[in-house]
Amino acid sequence: MQGLERFHVGCSGWYYRHWEGVLYPPGTDKSKYFEYYCKAFRTVEINSTFYKMPFRGYVKGWVRKAPSGFVYAVKMNRRITHENRLKDVDFILNDFLGRIKPLKDAGKLGPILVQLPPGLHRDDGLLERFLSILPRGYEYAVEFRHRSWFEGEVLRLLERYGVAFCVVSAPRMPSMAESTCDFAYVRFHGVKRWYNYNYSREELQQWANRISKLPVQRVYIYFNNDPYGYAVRNAKTMIGLLSHI
């Protein structure tokens, strides 16, 4: 896949009132937010699934509302990653995947993001046991929030199971742009501050150069710096930069 089609660039969520005047016209009914969002981006990262198991009715609604070619990335529920910390999660995992299956059946499901807690230190055995039970037929990306995981052995473990290493831009986190499968997953959280940070064009250009060199078929890029509409502005800038590479 060549050109901009290889890159799926969007934001982490869309239901933000403070985006009125940035992405949505002032006074826009909240029920219309997603419609406007889809005019600007062709992918979104859903974070609500992390906090609460999604109702199948909501998931079917996401299918109906999304235009052709739109893709959802979905964050795995915290019961799996934060409460159980990847242990004894077979039942919860299959329940979660069953709830989002309508997206998969409709061809609108992108990667599933497995965000680990910052207090979870490197444990290769724990990670491998979890990776070994992940059902096939889905794309997964793992985001590490503790520095101990940012090692070559961990990358090779992910590669063995065909799972993506989540590339992150975040305060006090290593800036490793690595690929471990046929797609890449990138999250922008901020540099000097988490979330409340506006990337400069120069910073985004540097990232665009690095991301474009990853030897993968597809790249999913999400901006999680939603305050003041920074995510919207930065995502649009990133699309423009990638279109000229």
62-96 pLDDT, tens digit per residue, is 999 999 999 999 999 999 999 999 999 999 999 99
Q: What is the pTM of this model?
A: 0.96
Give the other-Cβ count within 10 Å of 1's Cβ: 10
pLDDT on residue 149: 99
The parent domain of residue 37 ranges over 3-242
Look at residue 20 and tell me whether its pLDDT is greater than 50.
yes
Cβ atoms of 6 and 219 within 8 Å: the answer is yes
Model pLDDT, residue 4: 87
Q: Find the CATH number of the domain harbouring 145.
A: 3.20.20.410
Answer for the pair 188, 199: CB distance below 8 angstroms, yes or no. yes
Q: Percent of the chain having pLDDT more than 90? A: 98
Instruction: Kindly provide the b/e burial profile for residues 200-222, where b requires at least 16 CB atoms within 10 angstroms of the residue's own CB.
Output: eeebbbebbeebeebebebbbbb
Task: Count structural domains, the chain.
Answer: 1
Task: Summarize the confidence of residues 109-115 as an average pLDDT.
Answer: 99
pLDDT at 2 over 80: no
Measured in degrees and rounded to the nearest 5, phi and psi for residue 149 equal -80, -15
Average pLDDT, the chain: 97
187's tokens = 């999250």
Nearest to 155 by CA among 135, 177, 171: 177
